[in-house]
């Protein structure tokens, strides 16, 4: 196995662990600022590999680095009439038992003097800020990674620069070859002595700023002579070329053929084009819309994952991918034959996209996700605002324990989905090539 492949997997897992750690810091910092007692800050699951207590909080790392959590006291309010210093036994009935058990577990850590430091007693907007801190941290990380990608490295784009892969002869489409024969006709570009590295700057007196400009001008010109402005080795110059008519695939729909369009015979060069910081927001906005659409269509997407795992269907490039699959992609990126610049760009884009997806997934308004707690805080704010307007007594704290049966159902579905993704990523992984 290529050692770069292993390095790529390790680097991705390291980036994932750092993202998880910062996600939990996004919860930890506002919780402490608002006076909630936080007993644990942990990165990972399972048994503890290392921990150290600082003040009232235990900080640690667990052996399975696929998640993390902070433990805040009093996440759930007591039942009406409960003595907050004493716990009641679990009630009978499966669903009510789940509610009572969760409620008691949330109360058992409350010590004398902590009555105002429990999570459920905080103002609704403080609860929303605390629970939004984790996803917000993922969005900040995504913005940082996308800024590194777009502003520092750039996005791949086709530049109007003659590529070294440009053919100098006209090869019939019916012939499956790439080498020129002595009997092949020379392209108009070859006859005009255009060379690899020449940048096209004007065509027929019209300025060229992109490869799309060049393609549009060449095709619309049709056959005949034309003056082409180029820059060669830093020196501007003009060459004359005589275009020929060719049937070429339509730019919008390659299945259609445009008849007798102008043909020069040059290929563009792929370059990394740096963007402005303002374009980062637009880029993130577009991706956010696509991720949101994927989350809405997640059940249908998981059907595709099932078919890929058990029926050998092709993986959907726009479908979900798990940690295992993303790690494999990280290894594939570093082990590829791409340039170092493109490797870094794709790897950074992978980390950015993963953070964006994690942040948005956690905002789904269902427990046990952060969005479920956020929804509870917002609902409490609405109830209190309504009571104030209507001059009614202040309502009790919103008791999210009542939806814990749904929470366990959601958690069960999430476990099944995660297992399916792991299996699909092992037997039919999504790769860079599709």
* 15 Cβ contact partners less than 8 Å away, ≥ 6 residues apart: 351
Active site residue 165: no
**Residue 172 DSSP code:** -
* 130 Cβ contact partners less than 8 Å away, ≥ 6 residues apart: 27, 30, 31, 34, 36, 72, 119, 122
What string of DSSP letters covers 301-362? HHHHHHHHHHS-PPPPTTS---HHHHHHHHHHHHHSSS-HHHHHHHHHHHHHHHHHHHHHHH
From CA 47, how far away is CA 364, in angstroms rounded? 28
Helix, strand, coil percentages for the chain (3-state, nearest 5): 50, 20, 30
**Residue 93 DSSP code:** S
Instruction: Tell me if 420 sits within 8 A of 305, measured CB to CB.
Output: yes
Cα 167 → chain centroid? 38
Computed from CA positions of residues 373, 60, 22, 130, in that sequence, does the dihedral angle turn out positive or negative?
Answer: positive
Residue count of the chain: 434
Q: What tokens does 295 get?
A: 């989350």
* 212 Cβ contact partners less than 8 Å away, ≥ 6 residues apart: none
Active site residues: 24
């Amino acid at each position: 196995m290529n050692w770069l492949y292993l390095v790529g997997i390790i680097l991705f897992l390291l980036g994932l662990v750092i993202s998880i750690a910062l996600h939990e810091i996004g919860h930890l910092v506002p919780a402490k600022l608002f006076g909630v007692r936080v007993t644990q800050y942990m990165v990972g699951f399972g048994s503890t590999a290392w921990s150290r207590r600082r003040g009232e909080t235990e900080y640690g790392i667990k052996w399975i680095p696929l998640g993390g959590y902070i433990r805040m006291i009093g996440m759930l309010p007591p039942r009406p009439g409960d003595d907050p210093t004493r716990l009641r036994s679990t009630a009978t009935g499966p669903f009510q038992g789940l509610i009572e058990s969760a409620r008691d577990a949330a109360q058992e850590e409350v010590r004398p003097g902590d009555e105002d430091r429990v999570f459920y007693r905080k103002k609704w907007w403080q609860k929303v800020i605390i629970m939004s801190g984790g996803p917000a941290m993922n969005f900040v990380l995504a913005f940082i990674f996308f800024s590194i990608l777009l502003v520092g490295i750039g996005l791949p784009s086709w530049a109007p620069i003659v590529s070294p892969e440009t053919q100098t002869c006209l090869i019939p489409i019916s012939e499956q070859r790439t080498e020129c024969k002595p009997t092949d006709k020379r392209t108009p570009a070859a006859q005009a002595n255009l060379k690899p590295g020449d940048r096209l700057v004007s065509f027929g007196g019209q300025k060229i700023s992109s490869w799309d400009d060049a393609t549009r001008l060449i095709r619309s010109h049709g056959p005949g002579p034309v003056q082409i402005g180029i820059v060669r080795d830093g020196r501007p110059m003009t060459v004359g070329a005589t275009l020929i008519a060719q049937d070429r695939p339509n730019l919008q729909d390659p299945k259609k053929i445009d008849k007798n369009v102008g043909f020069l015979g040059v290929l563009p060069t792929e370059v990394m084009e740096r963007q402005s910081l303002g374009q980062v927001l637009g880029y993130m906005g577009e991706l956010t819309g696509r991720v949101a659409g994927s989350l809405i269509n997640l059940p249908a997407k998981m059907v595709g994952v099932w078919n890929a795992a058990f029926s050998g269907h092709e993986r959907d490039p726009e479908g979900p991918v798990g940690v295992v699959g993303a790690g494999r992609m990280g290894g594939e990126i570093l082990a590829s034959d791409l340039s170092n610049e493109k490797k870094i760009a794709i790897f950074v884009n992978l980390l950015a996209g993963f953070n964006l997806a994690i942040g948005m997934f956690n905002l789904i308004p269902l427990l046990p996700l952060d969005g479920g707690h956020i929804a509870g805080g917002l609902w409490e704010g609405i109830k209190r605002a309504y009571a104030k307007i209507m001059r009614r007594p202040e309502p009790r704290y919103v008791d999210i324990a009542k939806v814990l049966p749904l929470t366990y159902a959601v958690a069960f579905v999430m476990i099944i989905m995660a297992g399916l993704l792991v299996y699909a990523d092992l037997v039919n992984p999504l790769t860079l090539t599709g």
